[in-house]
Chain A
Amino acid sequence: MDRPEVVAPVGASVPRVDGFAKVTGRARYLDDLDAPGAWHGVTVRSKIAHGKLEAIDLDPAFDWSQVVVATAADIPGANVVRLIEDDQVALVPVGGHVRHFDEAIAVVAAPTRALAFAAAKAVKPRITPLPPVFTIDDALAVTSTLHGSDNVYKQFLIRKGHATDAELEAVFASAAQVLDGTYTTSPQEQMYIEPQAMMAEWRDGRCYLVGSMQCPYYVHKAMKHLLGCDAEGVVIAQSVTGGGFGGKEEYPSMLAAHCAVVAAKAKHPVKIVYDRDEDIAATTKRHPARTRHRLAVDAAGELLAIDVDCVMDGGAYLTLSPVVLSRGVLHAAGPYRCPIVRVRGRVVATNYPPHGAFRGFGAPQTTFAYERQLNKLARARGEHPFELRKRLALRSGDTTATGQLLGFSVGTDEVFAAIEQVAGAPPVRDGVNANGAPVRRGRGYVFYFHGAGFTGSGEQRLAGRAAVALTASGTFEVRSSSTDIGQGSITMFTQIAAAALGVGVSQVSVVDPSTARVPDSGPTVASRTCMVVGGVVERAARALRAKLELWAAEVGISGQPIETLAHKRAAAGGELVETITYEPPPGIQWDDATYTGSAYPVYGWAACLVDVAIDLDTYEVTIERCVQAVDVGKAINPSIVKGQIEGGTLQALGWAVLENVVYQEGRVANANMTNCIVPTFADAPELETILVEVPYPFGPSGAKGVGEIPMDGPAAAVANAVEDALGCAFDDLPISPEAIGLAKPRWRLS
């Protein structure tokens, strides 16, 4: 009833297939599932950032008869949350090291939540403190050894157009102009509104896990290792997921470990649903970063050389940090023409909770740096910042920092033209706001890009699979492990498959991802779901249609509508399934050893304009206007794409002016929504979104990734607008009222 009939629906704003369930409250998230006999799990955490766990004492005054306590000793397989490296433990073992505040030490389960909380308080870890590391500088100076000999988890080096550092320095020494700036960006909380949640149940020796997650097969891989079982020994299913933004990429494996181990001991299903404070305190955040960016420029204003040195804080375990850093360095030179580039990146170990995946995945940090630098260059040259970007931007035929020759789907001119068309006059500089306070206004621009899909040969290695099936009931089913976490993938897959099959959307459904019945399509990350997995779905649907038409020819009923054929074929018995594996576009070459080649199969391109008003009494920055033009290749569902861009844009604007995670001695000091704030309806400006479509020949109907790109640019656009307004630079996020006030001696209100 909530699914109107639309034929050939690609490009139409088909209402979301899950819309009805969500507006009526019928959609069942993990905590809404009926779970007869389920117990509640609560995690016991370290209240110290670094130390040796000497013992776990149980308060003898507490009645333990109704409660189970699971520790590292109860883990049947390896005590490791398997991801890139096996360095993170699921539960700190006695004799082992606690590496961050709020690290998990034990899990208790009890028939009621209240009893479980009481029991968790009665578990007393004994920890001998060790010296902690809380800054990038201390990590690099190895004030305490946390990882290897140098505390560096991973480093990358990109070189373009020069062989040695001396040659690079010679370019800087002889340049007409050099700009040298250092930019810091703050940790950011994903703040999905549904906290992390998972439930485990053991039946017949098999562990069934259901939870709020992005990547069922990540959890599957981690659980096989941790439970010491084969692929059949554990089944992972996704419940309706209330937002992820990267925050439910790697962390759910930790939750799954805790649930599975304590449920085995309790001999009951166990549900763990984090409270908001626990979620903010213990789970991953965006990596804080410090990026030094140098530009060498000739007298005509052409870029001679770019030199970037980015250091990210990885936190207490390696988790996804190498990949986040990789994306950061690959975007660090920006979408600008330059013959000589050096990008160095390092991610270091500290004693903070691990920093991890968050929309943009390293690129927002380095984008902030290069787009501040371009702005400073424009100001120094007295050139209009938008014109300077247009002049220097990469276009088809240019090469990126890794030497990738850009060919198709480069929307540079189109996004500039889109912004130009609506920009209008800059805001009136001085005025009065609704409170009667004087304000100062300014305008900022950015231009940026974002690589879609996995880096380098990642998609080839991953070889994601998806299937389309004709079911016994005569309708079609898409089977993939891609999760809908609000981004609309099930609706878009429905549209893509329906269009390729030549049927109405009501004839297609997308099954809920469970490792028991969908192939591994790869994780739901990296702006890859629509472009990569959607492309596989499109091919599978076409192949299935061909199979169906072949059958029709064999039985002599060719020429009938696909829906009719489908019902006749179903009546003949048996399922018809096509499973397809991803194939990279031709000409993709990447060398991991030298970091050269095609870093991504294709890029999204975007330009953004922001107008700000700064209250000269309270120093508050109000974003009065924000226009984003984004080249998405092809909008499969324009309403969904718009929703993605606007959601990402507001996360970026929030990161620019009001979001922050404050650490004190390794502990998150603002672990609640009262103090760890995100933009409300009233904080958000009206967002103007322009969809630009420069098709990607190898995406479904020309579509390319869009999930992350809107997060990369707007923070720098805000900083550039504030610089325009106040006449001085703001190079650190967030640009809070405190930051504006402290900069008052530098204001130049000419």
Chain B
Amino acid sequence: MKVTLEINGESRSVDASPWKRLLDVLREDLRLTGTKEGCGEGECGACTVMLDGEAVNSCLVAIGQCDRRTVTTVEGLANGEVLHAVQRALVACGGAQCGICTPGIAVCAAHVVDRGLVTGTDDATARARIRELLAGNICRCTGYQLIVDAIVIAAREVAKP
């Protein structure tokens, strides 16, 4: 079937089986390879993208569900060469090690930061909230500490009036 999506602010059309995974359409048809496959069963979160503003595992979404919908991938987070606050903080804090989980984490973190979901008046509450919100994204390198540090910084930056 022919599917038209808005991807990172651009309208794109693909002709694919409705059962084809959104992940594969992104990587193969559109050559947006920033979105990674880590497990193919919705456990690791490396393929996280935003679909109409909600974070989803693109390995669990069929392209047939995506017609006339909006998708944001890691390639759409930065404004040209100007990084999103989350991306900047991940670089500054050393939150990306091998980097394979990073696109998914950046997308999910940008989502929670932009939506103001990192609530809590103190550091410990904010950190606990981040851990809960990001629990669908697995990183095997960092022990998560430096990623949580980065998201706290990004959340504060985005929340500034």
> Which residues from B are CB-within-8-Å of A190?
140
Query: Provided the pairs A650-B144, A673-B41 are in contact, do residues A24 and B97 lie with their beta carbons within 8 angstroms?
Result: no
Interface centre among B74, B83, B94, B140 (most CB of A within 10 A): B140
Q: A28–B41 contact, CB under 8 A?
A: no
- Stretch in contact with the other chain, from A235-243, A560-568, A596-604: A235-243
How many residues does chain A have at the interface if contact means C-beta atoms less than 8 Å apart?
Answer: 59
For B100, the closest partner residue in chain A by CB is A242
Query: Provided the pairs A674-B41, A681-B130 are in contact, do residues A650 and B143 lie with their beta carbons within 8 angstroms?
Result: yes
For A674, the closest partner residue in chain B by CB is B43
Asked if B44 CB lies within 8 Å of chain A CBs, one says yes
Interface centre among B73, B103, B131, B145 (most CB of A within 10 A): B145
Q: Indicate with 1 or 0, residue by residue over A179-201, a CB within 8 angstroms of chain B CB atoms.
A: 00000000000111111000000
> Which residues from A are CB-within-8-Å of B127?
686
> Which residues from A are CB-within-8-Å of B78?
24
Asked if B61 CB lies within 8 Å of chain A CBs, one says no
Q: A486–B34 contact, CB under 8 A?
A: no
Asked if A664 CB lies within 8 Å of chain B CBs, one says no
Residues of B44-85 whose CB lies within 8 A of A: 44, 46, 73-75, 77-78, 81, 83
Q: How far is the CA of A674 from the CA of B43 in the complex (A)?
A: 6
Interface centre among B27, B44, B134 (most CB of A within 10 A): B44
> Which residues from A are CB-within-8-Å of B99?
18, 21-23, 27, 240, 242, 486
Q: B33–A25 contact, CB under 8 A?
A: yes
- Stretch in contact with the other chain, from A57-65, A611-619, A637-645: A637-645
For A675, the closest partner residue in chain B by CB is B43
Q: How far is the CA of A268 from the CA of B134 in the complex (A)?
A: 41
Query: Provided the pairs A25-B75, A29-B36, A673-B43 are in contact, do residues A243 and B142 lie with their beta carbons within 8 angstroms?
Result: no
The listed residue (B74, B91, B142) touching A646 by CB distance below 8 A is B142
Q: A681–B144 contact, CB under 8 A?
A: yes
Asked if A129 CB lies within 8 Å of chain B CBs, one says no
Q: A193–B38 contact, CB under 8 A?
A: yes
Interface centre among B27, B96, B134 (most CB of A within 10 A): B96
> Which residues from B are CB-within-8-Å of A194?
36, 38, 98, 100
Q: B91–A2 contact, CB under 8 A?
A: yes
Query: Provided the pairs A25-B74, A643-B94, A646-B145 are in contact, do residues A243 and B140 lie with their beta carbons within 8 angstroms?
Result: yes
Q: How far is the CA of A192 from the CA of B98 in the complex (A)?
A: 9
Q: How far is the CA of A82 from the CA of B47 in the complex (A)?
A: 36
Q: A680–B98 contact, CB under 8 A?
A: no
Residues of B124-159 whose CB lies within 8 A of A: 127, 130-132, 134-148
Q: B102–A23 contact, CB under 8 A?
A: yes
Residues of A15-40 whose CB lies within 8 A of B: 15-16, 18-29, 31-32
Minimum C-beta distance from A506 to chain B (A): 15
Q: A646–B146 contact, CB under 8 A?
A: yes
Asked if A474 CB lies within 8 Å of chain B CBs, one says no
Q: How far is the CA of A26 from the CA of B137 in the complex (A)?
A: 19
Minimum C-beta distance from A615 to chain B (A): 18
> Which residues from B are CB-within-8-Å of A674?
41, 43
Q: How far is the CA of A13 from the CA of B81 in the complex (A)?
A: 23
Q: B146–A24 contact, CB under 8 A?
A: no
Q: How far is the CA of A650 from the CA of B147 in the complex (A)?
A: 14
Interface centre among A18, A25, A243, A684 (most CB of B within 10 A): A25
Minimum C-beta distance from B139 to chain A (A): 7
Q: How far is the CA of A528 from the CA of B132 in the complex (A)?
A: 36
Asked if A621 CB lies within 8 Å of chain B CBs, one says no
Q: How far is the CA of A191 from the CA of B27 in the complex (A)?
A: 22
> Which residues from A are CB-within-8-Å of B100?
29, 192-194, 242-243
Interface centre among B35, B40, B46 (most CB of A within 10 A): B40
Q: How far is the CA of A13 from the CA of B38 in the complex (A)?
A: 29
The listed residue (A18, A23, A488, A640) touching B83 by CB distance below 8 A is A23
Asked if B39 CB lies within 8 Å of chain A CBs, one says yes
Asked if B118 CB lies within 8 Å of chain A CBs, one says no
Query: Provided the pairs A682-B131, A684-B131 are in contact, do residues A16 and B94 lie with their beta carbons within 8 angstroms?
Result: yes
Asked if A487 CB lies within 8 Å of chain B CBs, one says yes
Interface centre among B27, B139, B141 (most CB of A within 10 A): B141
Q: How far is the CA of A684 from the CA of B44 in the complex (A)?
A: 15
The listed residue (B41, B74, B97, B106) touching A647 by CB distance below 8 A is B97
Q: B81–A1 contact, CB under 8 A?
A: yes
Q: B98–A241 contact, CB under 8 A?
A: yes
Q: How far is the CA of A172 from the CA of B33 in the complex (A)?
A: 63
> Which residues from B are CB-within-8-Å of A21?
99
Q: B39–A672 contact, CB under 8 A?
A: yes
Q: B94–A193 contact, CB under 8 A?
A: no
Q: How far is the CA of A686 from the CA of B125 in the complex (A)?
A: 12
The listed residue (B27, B74, B98, B135) touching A243 by CB distance below 8 A is B98
Query: Provided the pairs A25-B33, A194-B98, A241-B98 are in contact, do residues A486 and B131 lie with their beta carbons within 8 angstroms?
Result: no
Q: How far is the CA of A20 from the CA of B100 in the complex (A)?
A: 13
The listed residue (A20, A243, A682, A687) touching B143 by CB distance below 8 A is A687
Query: Provided the pairs A15-B94, A24-B78, A681-B148 are in contact, do residues A193 and B87 lie with their beta carbons within 8 angstroms?
Result: no
For A648, the closest partner residue in chain B by CB is B143
Asked if A386 CB lies within 8 Å of chain B CBs, one says no
Asked if A575 CB lies within 8 Å of chain B CBs, one says no
Asked if A649 CB lies within 8 Å of chain B CBs, one says yes
The listed residue (A13, A18, A647) touching B142 by CB distance below 8 A is A647
Q: B74–A24 contact, CB under 8 A?
A: yes
Q: B40–A684 contact, CB under 8 A?
A: no
> Which residues from A are CB-within-8-Å of B36?
29, 193-194, 242
Q: B103–A682 contact, CB under 8 A?
A: no
Q: How far is the CA of A13 from the CA of B136 in the complex (A)?
A: 29
Q: B91–A20 contact, CB under 8 A?
A: yes
> Which residues from B are CB-within-8-Å of A639?
93-94, 146
Q: B97–A25 contact, CB under 8 A?
A: no
Q: How far is the CA of A27 from the CA of B43 in the complex (A)?
A: 22
Query: Provided the pairs A15-B91, A639-B93, A647-B97 are in contact, do residues A24 and B143 lie with their beta carbons within 8 angstroms?
Result: no
Q: How far is the CA of A27 from the CA of B103 in the complex (A)?
A: 10
For B134, the closest partner residue in chain A by CB is A681
Q: B145–A25 contact, CB under 8 A?
A: no
Query: Provided the pairs A28-B33, A32-B33, A486-B98 are in contact, do residues A192 and B131 lie with their beta carbons within 8 angstroms?
Result: no
Q: How far is the CA of A650 from the CA of B134 in the complex (A)?
A: 16
Q: Indicate with 1 or 0, residue by residue over A646-670, a CB within 8 angstroms of chain B CB atoms.
A: 1111110000000000000000000
The listed residue (A24, A682, A687) touching B75 by CB distance below 8 A is A24
Minimum C-beta distance from B138 to chain A (A): 6
> Which residues from B are CB-within-8-Å of A243?
97-98, 100, 140-141
Q: B140–A275 contact, CB under 8 A?
A: no
Q: How far is the CA of A685 from the CA of B161 in the complex (A)?
A: 32
> Which residues from B are CB-within-8-Å of A678?
138, 140
Q: How far is the CA of A680 from the CA of B138 in the complex (A)?
A: 6
Asked if A276 CB lies within 8 Å of chain B CBs, one says yes
Q: How far is the CA of A724 from the CA of B96 in the complex (A)?
A: 36
Q: How far is the CA of A680 from the CA of B94 in the complex (A)?
A: 18
Contact sample, A vs B, 13 pairs, CB 8 Å cutoff = A25-B75, A25-B102, A26-B34, A31-B33, A193-B140, A194-B98, A240-B99, A485-B98, A486-B98, A645-B143, A647-B141, A673-B44, A687-B145
A31-B27, A643-B97 known, 7 other contacts, Cβ within 8 Å? A19-B94, A194-B36, A243-B97, A243-B98, A485-B98, A486-B141, A488-B97
Closest CB pairs A-B (n = 8): A25-B34, A486-B98, A242-B100, A22-B99, A646-B143, A25-B74, A486-B97, A32-B33
Interface residues of chain B, those whose CB is within 8 Å of chain A, are: 27, 32-41, 43-44, 46, 73-75, 77-78, 81, 83, 87, 90-94, 96-103, 106, 127, 130-132, 134-148
